[in-house]
């Protein structure tokens, strides 16, 4: 299976070498790895270019963008820029620059996709270092495919029409994959080291953006409240709940455009309620 990986990278010099070393060490190499240097001011480009000079399947492209950080949208726009430079592929991956993969990662991924023709998305699990130990990054269910390690089958990627440019892109893609009758799977034995824990540098504005995303996914207020409580509990931050609700209400009164159609939204709400009732 032909694998193309895109890594959006903005000022990732502290992590990029270790990340790319783990790609080079794979037992099943991707066909191409595209590092998108998104307006970096550190050594990101130089580090990536050194790898490209030594490995013909790695290439670096540069993107000029605004310095302003726009949660979700900026990384998806950078990924899409890299995707424009991709060759033909069977599997397309959006990976972060602050991860370290186990050496058999893509070998295991290919086995999963080849053994299940309905599999649309697959990944390992993210682990963070705490007190010298690598522990599961417990901010999402272990069945959820996390944003830093997204790998899609092309058929699924095409059906969901790519990634939505905004916060929540790495949730709505999974829900739309289910809507189009694709399966998603995480492989628990594949431990991916996440060198920079999720939420680093998050502000109240970021949390409000999560509420906007739930509105754009057509969750409705009741489901949004439940999701907000879960996020606040997992983050051990009770203030997060109110910020998410504020973001949802802002998006509602501003009548912001949705990520999904009414039919897709009805499926998403039904899917979420089924998940909630199954745990009662």
pLDDT at 8: 97
Helix (H) or strand (E) holding 82: helix 73-83
User: Would you say 30 and 105 are in contact if contact means Cβ atoms under 8 Å apart?
Assistant: no
Beta strands in 73-182 (DSSP E): 91-95, 99-100, 119-130, 133-136, 149-153
pLDDT at 199: 61
pLDDT at 68: 63
DSSP state of 90: S
pLDDT at 201: 46
User: Would you say 219 and 126 are in contact if contact means Cβ atoms under 8 Å apart?
Assistant: no
Digitized pLDDT (tens) for each residue of the chain, 280 residues in all: 999 999 999 999 999 999 999 999 999 999 999 999 999 999 999 999 999 999 999 999 999 877 666 678 999 999 999 999 999 999 999 999 999 999 999 999 999 999 999 999 999 999 999 999 999 998 888 999 999 999 999 999 999 999 999 999 999 999 999 999 999 999 999 999 999 987 644 455 677 889 999 999 999 999 999 999 988 887 788 888 999 999 999 999 999 999 999 999 999 999 999 988 887 7
pLDDT at 138: 86
Helix (H) or strand (E) holding 63: strand 58-63
* pTM confidence score: 0.91
Please, which residues bridge with residue 183 across strands?
A: 119
């Amino acid at each position: 299976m032909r694998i193309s990986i895109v890594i959006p990278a903005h000022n990732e010099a502290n992590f990029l070498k270790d990340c790319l070393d783990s790609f080079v060490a794979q037992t099943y190499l991707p066909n191409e790895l595209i590092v998108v240097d998104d307006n970096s001011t550190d050594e990101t480009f130089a580090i990536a270019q050194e790898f490209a000079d030594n490995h013909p399947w790695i290439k670096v492209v540069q993107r000029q963008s605004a310095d302003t950080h726009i949660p979700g949208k900026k990384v998806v726009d950078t990924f899409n820029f890299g995707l424009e430079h991709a060759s033909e592929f069977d599997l397309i991956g959006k990976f972060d620059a602050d991860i370290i993969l186990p050496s058999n990662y893509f070998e295991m991924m290919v086995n999963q996709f080849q053994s299940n023709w309905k599999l649309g998305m697959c990944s390992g699990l993210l682990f963070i270092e705490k007190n010298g130990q690598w522990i599961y990054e417990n901010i999402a269910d272990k069945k959820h495919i996390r944003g830093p390690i997204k790998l899609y089958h092309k058929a699924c990627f095409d059906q969901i029409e790519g990634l939505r440019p905004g916060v929540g892109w790495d949730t709505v893609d999974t829900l739309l994959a289910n809507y189009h009758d694709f399966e998603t799977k995480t492989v628990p034995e594949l431990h991916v080291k996440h060198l920079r824990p999720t939420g680093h540098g998050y502000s109240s504005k970021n949390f409000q953006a999560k509420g906007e995303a739930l509105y754009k996914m057509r969750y409705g207020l009741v489901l949004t409240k439940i999701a907000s409580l879960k996020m606040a509990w997992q983050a051990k931050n009770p203030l997060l709940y109110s910020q998410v609700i504020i973001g949802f209400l802002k998006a509602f009164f501003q009548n912001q455009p949705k990520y999904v159609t009414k039919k897709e939204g009805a499926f998403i709400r039904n899917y979420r309620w089924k998940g909630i009732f199954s745990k009662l």
